[in-house]
Structure 1
C-alpha cells in the first residue's frame, strides 16, 4: 500500500511503531499529512484557493 492510500488512522498506526504516547499530536500530524496529499491532488486553479496549514513540531528528539 502506498503512502497516498493511507487513511489518517493507518498513518497513526505507522507512527505508533516509532512514537510512544503523544496521541493527540500523532492524530493531528496524520490528518495534516492526509489533507496535504488531498490538496495536492486538486486541479491547480482550485488548489491555489486553499491555504495549507503548517505544523511546528518542537521538543526533544
Structure 2
C-alpha cells in the first residue's frame, strides 16, 4: 500500500468492481491520505484530521464489495472492524 497512488488503488478496484467511479476515487484518496498522515511525526499528526467516508445507497450497489476489496488490498483481517458499511 505504501507506494500506491490513488490512481493505482482505483485501477486495482477496477479489476473487481464495475462502475462506482466516484466512490472508488473517494476511498482511494482517503486511504492514501490516511497512510500519508501516519508517515508524519507525532505532534503534526494530531493536527491533521483524517477525513471519513460514509457510503450510503440502496442494496446491491457495491458498498460492501468496495470495503471487501480494500480489505484485501490492505491485508486487513476483517473489513467489518476496519470499515463501517451500511
Q: TM-score range by the shorter chain?
A: 0.7 to 0.9
Q: Unaligned stretches of 5+ in structure 2?
A: 65-86
Residue in 2 aligned with 1:13? 11
Which segments of structure 1 move beyond 6 Å, counting only runs of 4 or more? none
RMSD of Structure 2 on Structure 1 (CA): 1.1
1:40-55 alignment, distance < 5 Å: 40-55=38-53
TM-score (normalised: structure 2): 0.64
Q: Structure 1: where are the runs of 5+ without partners?
A: none
Displacement of 1:43 in angstroms is 0.2
- Secondary structure at the aligned position of 2:2 is classed as helix
Relative contact order, higher structure (CA 8 A, sep 6+): 1
Aligned pairs, how many? 59
Separation of aligned partners in 2, 1:39 and 1:51 = 9
**1 CA distance for matches of 2:56 and 2:15?**
20
